[in-house]
Amino acid sequence: MACKWKGIIPPVVTLFDEKRGFDWEANDFLADYLIQQGVHGLLYMGSTGEFSSLTSEERKVFAERMVRYVDGRVPVLIGTGSTSLKETIYLSQHAESIGASGVLVVNPFYWKYTDRQLYDYYTSVAKSIRIPLLIYNIPLLTGQDLSPDLVLRLAVEHENIAGIKDTTEKLGHIRQLIRIKEQREDFAVFAAFDDLLLPSLQMGAAGAINGTAVFLPELSVQLFESFHAQQYEETLKANESILKLMAIYELSQPLYIAIKEAVHQLILGRHTALRPPVKECDELEDRIRIFLNKNNIQSYREARNRLVFPKNRK
């Protein structure tokens, strides 16, 4: 429980090679780049990381390899949620055994459960590990919104339930979660939608686990750091730039494909493979290029030149 969660934690995409295995070279490079840009942690195997398209063994292999590669430079969260409680506990215990800083656990999806059933679910996972557990609320994909009362009870009764990623557009819901700090001072609430980062910080949020931080981490880090330094002119400037990036989520379905393409163009300088049922799309490549040019983001490519990606680009 030594790690106190705060700041900008990108929900990192998972990069694949032509055989649909893991492209370790690309995944390592992206980790180095994000850390160099000042992020405060990394989340692997979240929704953007395509955990739902991987087997349990693949999730374990990837988590272990990336925790080892990051090597304590920043805290690493591992998404371990599943529809199966047994599998969630299994993956959470594995994350603890490999040295992960904490786990992010989405509520079981497909069926809707009562608050009592969800309480028992999270209690069972929390009791099975000693490292911090962050609750993951994403009603858009689970079909169920976790109530502030449920989260409060979990936070008060379980020390290692350390926070929540609240993927909701309802600022009022985030505000209610932040009020949990009145009874649990160290409880960390993270926004997920980029346009809610600033208003969430103003209400006392710990930071954000937001998609645009995967391909332009500098902006979110700048907003977070300048806000806490009370440099509000810089804060508003960064926020204005971030707001313009929200349109990227409308360019693909699922939305992580557009984020990957931005990573390809801005950071890697080459393409990695997509895992079925998702397929490559030339039109998306063009749409992202137009989007980046429209928002004058090409200048950020200079930052990637501080690292030299291997020359065997595709």
Residue 99 burial (C-beta neighbours within 10 Å; 0-12, 13-18, 19+): middle
Please give the Cα distance from 107 to 137 (Å, whole number).
Answer: 7
The single residue listed with the structure tokens 């994350």 is 95
Based on the residue annotation, tell me whether 300 is a catalytic residue of this protein.
no
Please give the Cα distance from 314 to 266 (Å, whole number).
Answer: 15
Based on the residue annotation, tell me whether 113 is a catalytic residue of this protein.
no
In contact, 134 and 167? CB cutoff 8 Å: no
List 33, 44, 60, 165, catalytic entry: 165
Based on the residue annotation, tell me whether 47 is a catalytic residue of this protein.
yes
Give the CB-side neighbour count of residue 20, counting CA atoms within 13 A: 12
CA distances from 303 to 37, 40, 217, 218 (A): 9, 18, 11, 10
CA distances from 170 to 110, 139, 216, 312 (A): 22, 11, 24, 45
List 136, 200, 220, 260, catalytic entry: 136
Based on the residue annotation, tell me whether 165 is a catalytic residue of this protein.
yes
List 19, 110, 299, 311, catalytic entry: 110
| Structure tokens given for 115 | 């608050």
Please give the Cα distance from 264 to 196 (Å, whole number).
Answer: 26
In contact, 160 and 199? CB cutoff 8 Å: no
List 47, 82, 92, 241, catalytic entry: 47
Q: Helices (DSSP H) in the chain: which residue ranges?
A: 24-36, 56-70, 85-97, 115-128, 139-142, 148-157, 171-178, 197-203, 217-228, 232-245, 256-263, 282-294, 301-304
Q: Which residues are catalytic?
A: 47, 110, 136, 165
